[in-house]
Amino acid sequence: MASYLQLFQTPKPLTHFNRFSSTSSRLPASVRCSASVVPPSKRSYSITLLPGDGIGPEVISVAKDVLVLAGSVEGITFEFREMLLGGAALDATGVPMPDETLSVSKQSDAVLLGAIGGYKWDNNEKHLKPETGLLQIRSGLQVFANLRPATVFPQLVDASTLKREVAEGVDLMVVRELTGGIYFGKPRGFRTDENGEEAGFNTEIYSQHEIDRIARLAFETARKRRGKLCSVDKANVLEASMLWRKIVTELAQEYPDVELSHMYVDNAAMQLIRYPKQFDTILTNNIFGDILSDEASMITGSIGMLPSASIGASGPGLFEPIHGSAPDIAGQDKANPFATVLSAAMLLKYGLGEERAAERIEKAVLDTLNRGFRTADIYSAGTKLVGCKQIGEEILKSVESHIPTAAV
């Protein structure tokens, strides 16, 4: 694999998409992806594709085509390997994440995921649910930090369910801890309680080093954005949150240029709807980040517009749209591929250090929106309602025809 990518180097001005992290494309030294600061001779990369379930294969197909074309324009080649994960893996192998999937993913330069899950497997035992495969791939790749931008694009401000004056100009980043907390904590399981009733239990647990490393990343992210960090917890009730707040507060002394605030999660959920522009960078744990980032996505008009990057201390990053598998529209050419295409751009920028190609894709998405093409979830009067495949074709036209990107 190539040498490590450090994020958070101040970038040259790009398009509106630079507001994803305001954004530098480099992480602090403690958080790195595999194929970074790549020597000029390294222009070929291995990408593991995990289409998954539902609309996953449809949106991954579009993103792959966009990656190939943007790469060819910029002198980059890709070797793709498609592997099973989630329900597709269950049907083919009996497990939600085959060992081969993790092995191939670890050997690649980056991993691009579509979506997993579906009604078909809802009644499976927990270890045989598609979602278990998603947790396993995150844990196996040791990607502990999830970056989820929520930006309201001017072209889509009227697609938001909030009033224009509330939604316009929203630009925030949720930094979510990804491999700890209640989703992974032990003990967990089922038992019979003292009354003879069946009970289910989970453990919300965080160690000092888990909090420290995600908090440092959040401070660095805020430092490269607008210098404001809001740490979200439930420290008035939960001991794990009490430790979280203590460590984050102590760490703030190392970042005097970042304005730190704390907010309880219930208030944060309310404030995201009441006045979302107050937020710049949000730091939170696994379960709170899962919920709040989905809430934030709806401010933008559709969950189908938002990408994410999951990164760790070493090895390949995992890049995926934040939407689900949408089995109700799977196979009908109704899926919105923008989030997956933008996840591919994040893969190029954060995972491979290929900012020119990433910028080309970002500009192509903007150009496609500017030309009025919309899927049903972001459609409004006066725009052109098209399917997933045509959105992909229009993005490809923009990638190929767009003016050359600036040197990085």
Residues catalogued as catalytic: 183, 234, 266, 290, 294
Is cis: bond before 187, omega within 30 of 0? yes
Q: What is the largest CA-CA distance in the chain?
A: 70
Nearest Cα to 110, choosing from 143, 69, 62?
Answer: 143
Q: Name residue, tokens 């790009």.
A: 14
Tokens for 154, please give them: 């001017």
In the numeric block, which tokens belong to residue 156? 């889509």
For residues 266 and 233, is the Cβ–Cβ distance under 8 A?
no
How far apart are the two ends of the chain, measured CA to CA in Å?
22
**Residue 320 parent element (H or E):** strand 317-321
Phi, psi of 157 (to 5 degrees): -60, -35
- Cα–Cα distance measured from residue 368 to residue 250, given in angstroms and rounded to the nearest whole number: 45
Distance from C-alpha of 334 to C-alpha of 314, rounded to nearest angstrom: 36
- H helices of 190-337, in order, are 208-224, 239-251, 265-274, 286-299
104 token code pair: 């191939």
